[in-house]
Each structure stands twice: as C-alpha cells, then as structure tokens.
Structure 1
Amino acid sequence: YFDDLYDLRIVLETAAMERICQMPDQPEKLLKLKDIWLVPKNEREKDGRTVACLDESFHTTLVSAAANGEMTRVHTDLTEKIRVIRRLDFTQTARIDATYQEHAKILQFLLRKKFAEASLLLRSHIQLSKLEVRKITLHRLHEAHAPG
C-alpha cells in the first residue's frame, strides 16, 4: 500500500517539476524555498520534527507551484496518508543532512530549468527516503518483539 503511495508521489512531483520547467518565469513559491534550503550548514534547522514539517512543505510547494489545482489536491491527500511514516525519516541526523543536500540540489536544477537532472534526483531522493523509513519501521518492529 505505502509503496503504491510513494510511486504516486513520484509521478505527481515529477509532473509538477516538468510543468515548472516549462513556465516562462519561476513561480514565486519556488523562489521562497531558497531561503530554507539554500542556506549554510550552520543555519540549517536541526530538530527532526521541524525538518519533517519543512520537508513536507518543500514537496507540497513543488506541486502547488505547478499551478494545477487537481494535482495539488491529490498530492495533499497523498501527503496526509503517508505523513506519519515519512516523519520516521527525520529521527536520524544523517537523514536530516541528506535532506538538506538533496533539496538544495533539486531546487538548483529547477531554478535552472534542468528537468532531467531535477527529476532524476527527486526520484532518488524519494526512493531513498522510502527505504530508510522501511528500515526504521522493521527495526522498531523487531525491537518490540524482542524478548525482555
């Protein structure tokens, strides 16, 4: 079930980025993401819960910047369904750092209208997040069933 939702997420966000790259001007929403994700390492947010919210906002902003109300609606519904498991990804410092790096690169490609590079990186970013969440979930289930 969650794999299907992640696949749909990739489709929606990739389609949104393609639309953004075809726009004559950069959407204002996209430009505002620079203030969050294109910052020096010492200015990055470190709290996992806060980064989880920023991450969700990054992805929902990508879709809403494409100016397709139906895509935004479907993506919002999808985001609500996977929110709890996605937040597991931000319980580890390494994933917080990786998220900043990956979002910055995706944003830089989008701002230069390099759709192929941005979409490849986005797909990898979401797949990696999905795998990390799966590992964390399995680990926690194993711990819950361990004797003692």
Structure 2
Amino acid sequence: MNKNRSKVIISALVLGFIFLMFAASKVYAAPEAFPIPKVNISVDNASTPQQYVGNIKLLIMLTILTILPSFIMMMTSFVRIIVVFGFLRGAMGTQQSPPNTILIGLALFLTVFIMQPVYSKVNTNAIQPYMQNKITQEQAIDEGAKPLRQFMLKYTYKKDFHYL
C-alpha cells in the first residue's frame, strides 16, 4: 500500500509539472489601452515659449520633490515631534505598536499644523508679491527667510549659539 501511495504522489507531481510547463504562457500588456506619457525635460527641442515654461516648471517640481525631505528635516519641528513619539512608544513598553508609518503620519500632520503660521507669513510676504511682480527674486528670498529664521531662532537653545 505504501508503494502505491508513493507512485500516486510521484505521478501527481509529474502531471503537475507537465501542466505547469504547458500552461505557462507569456502575458503582454496592451500599450494602446493605457498610453504612457512621454516626459521630456530638455529645452533643446522646445519651439514655443509655452513649451519652455512647461519644461522648466517640470524641472523645478522634480527638484523640489528631491530636496523636500531635507527641508522638512532641517527647517521644521518634524524631528522633535518624531523623537518625542519614539520616547512615548518606549515609555508605553511597546516596540512596534503603533507602527512607524502611523507615527510619521502623525508627526507630518502636527508639523503642518505647527508650521502653518510660518508658511502663511512666507506666502503673504514673499511668494504672492513675487508672483505679482511687486518684488524681485532676491527680495522674495530675503522676505521668505525671515519667518523661518524667527521660528528656528525661537526654538534654539541660547547655549547652542556658543558653538557658532
């Protein structure tokens, strides 16, 4: 009986292998169903000013997305909030609950909430006047840096200035 059982198992495995070999087929995606847009960042082949502006806007957006995490880390209260959340999780005695994703989401929400007055000052004093051509780019950078500088100086220990 044991021999018959092993023959049945071997036969089933061989038949399964043969089925998989012949049943496997390649699947191709239909490119016409969902056309993939072509992204072009070069300004070499732009013929109209609108094409130049579109390409430059795309380049600026990609650059901002690249450096956005470093801005969040260096110029907001995000790091302090996430460190406090880490201490709270350790104080509760849980190592993985709540997960890091939830803590980071909460920290980002609180960062936006805390930084909203600073962002509104930057928007009012620098971005909107620059977009309306009332001030130059250098003036916009200076005016936009003032609220950020005030926020960062307000939350920096006085003894840390000794190292500067």
Under a length normalisation based on structure 1, what TM-score does the superposition of the two structures give?
0.27
Under a length normalisation based on structure 2, what TM-score does the superposition of the two structures give?
0.26
Query: RCO higher in 1 or 2 (8 Å CA, sep ≥ 6)?
Result: 1
Task: Judging by fraction of residues, say which structure has more helix.
Answer: 1
